């Protein structure tokens, strides 16, 4: 396993990070524990969760993912072997509903101090731990171009100031509840405003990471965020590296395998449009032309990007998890990389 420094912290995280958003929906508690055991055996020390998991988010299942991780910590007594990341939901990202069931007062979530304190205390209890290593905002409090929204959603709604959110995080760090702060589904402007706030007020924590989508079908991160985060020591934690499994080739020609995510849930339309299907077909064909597993080729590409800190993989069974981790051993040839770039130039970012 390869390890990389998380931002400017002293934490070393595995290049492969274990994603958990299917636990409690597609995966049972026993499945989750088996994945955690196997990942830890393979050297994975980084786990990523969120208060609203599993996905799709529902009031009746919310928090199960945390609870499964918490029961594993209790059973294995190995909290010190893991770098644990989780997220707090804000107002801006809710593409489906307003998630009022997340908070005791039944108000839509936001990134105010009051709501962040409530969220972290609930997460700590479910996770059966005293501290969280990386606490991330799941999305900005404002609307942005995330979750497949291509056009900027200009709006005049009041939002929680970034400085207020960071002040809440500072209080949590002081209290020993969290160790560091990150963002997710954020823009280049947003990253720089977080950094500016911390540089202006030294009492505010500096963000150490950003968790955004990055895969062969969505390389939008490269356009501006890669430079920002490289220059400012903000580590990319890439999610959806297989584009919800599309890059594994299992949905080609309209196939919908039983139990697969895009079969079960129709909400992920950004990964099922005709442009995505055409590009995915070409990437899968490229992999097979060179005798490679398509999923491993897609993951190896993400693993080797110079701006990458961790690649967040998700699996619904141990065979998938093993193959995903094995992508670390795959070195892509110049011919494969040239082929990837040729497809990207011809069909850039169909899932952005």
Positions marked active-site: 53
For residue 302, give both structure tokens.
Answer: 């993400």
For residue 308, give both structure tokens.
Answer: 């990458």
For residue 286, give both structure tokens.
Answer: 């490229």
CB neighbour class for 130 (10 Å; exposed up to 12, middle 13-18, buried from 19): exposed
For residue 109, give both structure tokens.
Answer: 């979530």
For residue 264, give both structure tokens.
Answer: 């079960």
Beta strand 46-48 with 83-88: parallel, antiparallel or unpaired?
parallel
The residues, any chain, with a CB within 8 Å of residue 336's CB and separated by 6 or more, are 286, 287, 290, 292, 297
CB 132 within 8 A of CB 123: yes
CB 81 within 8 A of CB 40: yes
Query: Is the sign of the CA dihedral 119, 191, 7, 4 positive or negative?
Result: positive
Q: How many DSSP H helices and E strands does the chain contain?
A: 11, 10
């Amino acid at each position: 396993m390869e390890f990389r420094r998380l931002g400017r912290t002293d934490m070393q995280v595995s290049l492969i990070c274990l994603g958990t958003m299917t636990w409690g929906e597609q995966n049972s508690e026993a499945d989750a524990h088996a994945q955690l055991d196997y990942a830890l055996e393979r050297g994975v020390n980084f786990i990523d969760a969120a208060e609203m998991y599993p996905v799709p988010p529902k009031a009746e299942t919310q928090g199960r993912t945390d609870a499964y991780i918490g029961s594993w910590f209790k059973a294995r007594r190995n909290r010190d072997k893991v770098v644990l990341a989780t997220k707090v939901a804000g107002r801006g990202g809710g593409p489906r509903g307003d998630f009022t069931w997340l908070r005791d007062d039944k108000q839509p979530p936001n990134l105010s101090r009051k709501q962040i304190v409530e969220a972290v205390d609930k997460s700590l209890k479910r996770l059966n731990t005293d501290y969280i290593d990386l606490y991330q905002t799941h999305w900005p409090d404002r609307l942005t171009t995330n979750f497949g929204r291509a056009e900027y959603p200009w709006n005049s709604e009041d939002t929680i100031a970034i400085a207020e959110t960071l002040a809440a995080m500072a209080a949590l760090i002081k209290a020993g509840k969290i160790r560091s702060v990150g963002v997710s589904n954020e823009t280049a402007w947003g990253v720089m405003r977080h950094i500016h706030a911390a540089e202006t007020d030294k009492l505010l924590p500096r963000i150490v990471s950003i968790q955004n989508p990055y895969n062969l079908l969505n390389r939008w991160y490269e356009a501006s965020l890669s430079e920002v985060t490289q220059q400012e020591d903000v580590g990319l934690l890439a999610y959806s590296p297989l584009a919800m499994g599309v890059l594994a080739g299992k949905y080609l020609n309209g196939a919908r395998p039983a139990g697969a995510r895009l079969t079960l849930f129709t909400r992920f339309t950004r990964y099922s449009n005709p442009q995505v299907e055409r590009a995915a077909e070409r990437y899968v064909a490229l992999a097979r032309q060179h005798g490679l597993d398509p999923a491993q080729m897609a993951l190896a590409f993400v693993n080797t990007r110079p701006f990458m800190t961790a690649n967040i993989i998700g699996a619904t069974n141990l065979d998938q998890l093993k193959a995903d981790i094995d992508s670390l051993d795959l070195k892509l040839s110049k011919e494969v990389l040239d082929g990837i770039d040729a497809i990207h130039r011809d069909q850039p970012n169909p899932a952005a």
